Every structure is written in structure tokens, then in C-alpha cells.
Amino acid sequence: MSTDNIRQVVLDTETTGMNKVGIHYEGHNIIEIGAVEIINRRITGRYLHFYVKPPRLIDHDAFLVHGINNKFLQNKPSFSEISEKFLNFIRDTELIIHNAPFDIGFIDYECSMLNKNIPPIKDFCRITDSLILARQLFPGKRNNLDALCERYHINNSKRKLHSALLDAKILAEVYMAMTGGQTSLAFSFDSDLDNDIFFDKVNKQTNKLRVAYANKEEIISHEAKLDFIEKKSGKISLWRLYDTLKE
């Protein structure tokens, strides 16, 4: 395959909320889409941004996350009106998304409601989850967008509330740093050293206890739930507070 004109699109969405039971995107809708273009590892400055009028009201909890209200969206286009332009922008690209199942789930749901036989996004785009990449680079650490900005010294001071376009622009810089930059070796070394000392003390005190570890599926499910909580609340979950204090 030629390495010329490799096109990637960094994508983020905001929504009316989520279901507390069942599939999270059913019954809720996209209200903002932000997409930033990268060609040959260069952020081109070309982007796509839409606010979308949903067929339902925004949940209060979701409003507290992104600050977008129902009145603001009253004169905005529907997803149906922007869908063709949006899909043409992302078609045949590699999509870079943080916690990709969340955004892809919403996009596929919205497309299915159009009744135009639009295939799943994965059928015409390659999807890369930058959250999975971050976990591979920093296992056991906080890997939400704010934490990664701090780790890579990327300015996110304008990120007072979640915004699909702003978050996509920030994620584009984070992704470039994760895939082409160099992280601090001292940071990783110090953290590993602290872990060794900590677990050595724990092992000495609890060597008579039987420890039942979570299996792979349980860990994946737990981490996905924490990622969703942090993404939509903008706050660090209590389960990851220990990692926060170490950092």
C-alpha cells in the first residue's frame, strides 16, 4: 500500500444523554459532531463541525457535561440533513476516537434511523480507539483526555465543558504525541518503583490471604464503565483515585 495521502479523521460527539438500562444509545441522540482531518501525520486544519437538533430533549445530567441546551439547538439541522456531508467526510478513512464504541454506537444508531440501508461505520472506515492505545502505553494509569493532555504537556485550558470539536482538536494532538512522540521514561520508572515497594509491603502483610483476581472479561467491562463515567461526567471516578494520587 502506498504511504502517500494517508487520511485519518479524529472524531468526537456529544449526545442528549444515555439510557441507564440496556444499550446506551437507544432512545438518545447526537447533538454535536466534531471531526478533524490528518493527512500523512499532519493536522491539515480542515475540519467538520455540526450542531444537530435531536428529536428529544436533552437530559439534565448531559447538559451539565457539555452545556448545550434545547433552545440553542432549535434552529439547527437534523441528523438527516447533515448525514450525507458527514458520511462523505469520514468515508474510507481511519477514524481516531477516544472510547470508540460510545461514539460509533451513536452514529450507527442515527444512521439506522434514516432507513437508507447505510452499513455500519466499520464497513467503510477503519476504526482506531485511542483509549485502547493509551492503555497499552500507560497500563493502570488514568487515560482520559485530560490526563493524557497533562502527560504530554498539551494545553487543554479551554476545555471547561465537553465540546465535540474542541475535544477532537485536542485528541488529534494527543494522538500525534502518542504515536510519534516520546514519553517521560523517568515518570514510568518512578511509578513502577513505587508499585514494587507498595506491593512488596502488601504481600508481606497478606501472604496468608487468598486473592481472587478479576478475569479478563470482568476487567474490560469494569474499565469500559469507568471510561464512560469519566467521559460524560468530566470527573475522575473514585475507583481510579489511587492512580490520581500517585500521579
Q: Buried (b) or exposed (e) across 71-97, using 16+ Cβ within 10 A?
A: eebeebeebeebbeebbebbeebebbb
> What is the rounded distance in angstroms from the CA atom of residue 102 to the CA atom of residue 98?
9
- Give me the active site residues, please: 162
> What is the rounded distance in angstroms from the CA atom of residue 117 to the CA atom of residue 130?
29
The neighbouring-strand residues paired with 96 are 10, 128
Query: In terms of Cα–Cα distance, which of 63, 35, 70 is closest to 50?
Result: 35
Burial of 133 (0-12, 13-18, 19+ CB in 10 A): middle
The answer to whether the beta carbons of residues 74 and 106 sit under 8 Å apart is no
> What is the rounded distance in angstroms from the CA atom of residue 214 to the CA atom of residue 224?
14
- Residues whose CB is less than 8 angstroms from the CB of residue 158 and which lie 6 or more positions away in sequence, other chains included: 166
The answer to whether the beta carbons of residues 38 and 58 sit under 8 Å apart is no
| Binding site feature residues for a divalent metal cation | 12, 14, 167
Write the DSSP assignment of 10-52 as a string of letters.
EEEEEES---SSSSTTTT--EEEEEEEEEETTEEEEEEEEEE-
| Binding site feature residues | 12, 14, 66, 167
| Binding site feature residues for substrate | 12, 14, 66, 167
